[in-house]
Amino acid sequence: MILYVRLLKESFAFAFNALRSNKLRTLLSLLGVTVGIFSIIAVLAAVDSLKKNIVDSLDGMDKNTIYLFKYSFGPTDVEEWKRDQFPHVKYDEYQYLQKSMADIDKISFNFFTNNQSIKYDDNTVNSIRVKPSTNEFFEIEPFKVDKGRMFNEAESNSGTAVIVIGSEVADGLFKGNEPIGKQIRLYGQRYTVIGVLKKMGQNAFGDSNDVAVFLPVNNLRKLYGDNSTIFTPAILIKPKEGVDIEEFKAELTNKMRSFRGLRAGEINSFFVNILSGFTNFIDDIIGKMNLAGWGISIFSLLVGGFGIANIMFVSVKERTNLIGIQKALGAKNRFILFQFLFEAVILAMFGGLIGIVLVWLIALILTNVLDFEFVLSSFNILLGSSLSILIGLISGILPAISASKLDPVEAIRTGM
């Protein structure tokens, strides 16, 4: 055991001397390993960060939440020209499902629409996300009120001109003054502010309720009707807890087909998008991104491996005389082999460590600059270190074997 500790210590010394005495050669040799480890860990860290932010964004929402409208979250076999002919979901379909399906916990009718500008006196805030909905929407998605309240069922049904605003909207319009009870202008109408949401930050999809406003969907239905092209209607459904989601989806599909009068053999003119299916779709994309990252990075690792092998062969040639002397003094083949193998591993680990540190620094900078948390997990650090060791072992094995098999007399003579 003491012998191998000494061997490891000497290998560190040899590797350090190689770095110090042949700086340019060593740097170029390690560059491939550094780039390869950096590429793999950077891709894995980016993918892990994206996945974590998506999970955090969906946290608090029931994964069985259903988005019923004319578009599909993921790939579909329905041709585009057919999808373009699908009708939008209607408010009366929302009311029909609300009354006819017993296993619905919450159901809301929503409009997806373009960003708008909002005014209060001389203050204007641009690019605000407008989210018209019925009052049940606040029980489907997680919201926290900082001041005031959400609009209630009576206000939702009657389309009262009330509005709930995000924290950044409140800051931009009211500059720290009390917003509750004030009237703001949107769509050329006046809306009374009844609530302000707590600051939540941006989610993985680039959406943020901090720059959003919420108003009764019936208010806009009264202003624009149900056929306006600036709105995309959707029905959000949260099934009761414990309900079999596939059976629920089948019942929902049958109800919609019956209401729309679709005959047997006709395709559905709507899509039932389950949030869990969307997360599975995201997982599939993330898996492909991981594979692509590995595919690209493996070439850098190959180059790095060849670089390490090259520097080790050169090292064997330069130290042929020393190897002969060590063997003449009784050093066994195994000792020589492990000496060069450890040196290759240590050199590769230097390159891998540089790559990991670069990823950590970039992740730290991007987390501070962007409103997005980049995560470098301990698993990825361990993976990068393990890959470095593996590259060192593979790259150093042939030079180490060639060094261990040198004849001591020939080695000393060659070295002289």
Nearby residues of 22 by Cβ (< 8 Å), 6 or more positions away: 311
d(CA 82, CA 269): 9
Examine residue 247 and state whether it is found in any structural domain, yes or no.
no
Report the pLDDT value the prediction gives residue 233, as an integer from 0 to 100. 95
Q: Are residues 292 and 410 in the same domain?
A: yes
Q: Cα separation of 312 and 18, whole Å?
A: 10
Rounded distance between C-alpha atoms, residue 61 and residue 23, angstroms:
55
Give a yes or no: residue 271 inside a domain.
no
320 and 217 together in one domain: no
Residues 109 and 217 in one domain: yes
Asked if 214 and 327 sit in the same domain, the reply is no
Domain of 301?
2-57+281-415
Q: pLDDT of the chain along its 416 residues, tens only?
A: 666 677 667 666 665 665 666 667 677 667 777 777 787 777 777 777 777 776 666 555 557 889 999 988 777 888 888 888 999 999 999 999 999 998 999 999 999 999 999 999 888 999 899 999 999 998 888 788 999 999 999 999 999 999 999 999 999 999 889 999 999 999 989 999 999 999 876 654 556 788 999 999 999 999 998 888 889 999 999 998 888 888 999 999 999 999 999 988 889 999 998 876 666 666 677 777 777 767 766 776 777 777 777 777 777 777 767 767 777 777 677 777 777 777 778 778 888 888 888 888 888 887 777 766 777 778 878 877 888 888 888 887 888 787 777 776 666 766 55
pLDDT at 7: 64
pTM summary value: 0.63
| Count of H-run helices and E-run strands, the chain | 14, 11
* 151 shares its domain with 213: yes
In a domain, 346, yes or no: yes
Residues 218 and 138 in one domain: yes
Q: Which of 200, 233, 266 is the last residue of a domain?
A: 233
Is 73 inside a domain boundary? no
Q: Is residue 403 part of a domain?
A: yes
Whole-number pLDDT of residue 204: 47
Six token digits for residue 189: 């109408």
Regarding whether 224 and 113 lie in a shared domain, the answer is yes
402 and 297, same domain (yes or no): yes
Residue 175 CB neighbour total at 10 angstroms: 10
Residues 285 and 408 both lie in one domain: yes
Considering the domain architecture, whether residues 344 and 411 belong to the same structural domain is answered as yes
Query: Strands (DSSP E) along 27-65, which ranges?
Result: none
Over residues 129-147, the pLDDT tens digits come to 999 999 999 888 878 899 9
Q: What's 211's DSSP letter? A: G
* Dist. CA 186–CA 165, nearest whole Å: 12
What pLDDT, on a 0 to 100 scale, did the predictor assign at position 58?
58
Whether residue 198 is found in the same domain as residue 292: no
| Rounded-to-integer distance, Cα 215 and Cα 199, Å | 18
> Would you say residue 356 lies in a domain?
yes
Chain CA centroid to CA 210, Å: 21
The total of structural domains in the chain comes to 2
**What is the per-residue pLDDT across 197-249, written as a single tens digit (0 to 9) for each?**
998 766 545 567 889 999 999 999 999 988 888 899 999 999 988 888 889 99
* In a shared domain, residues 108 and 225: yes
Has residue 293 been placed in a domain?
Answer: yes
Q: What integer pLDDT is reported at residue 284 of this predicted model?
A: 72
In a domain, 254, yes or no: no
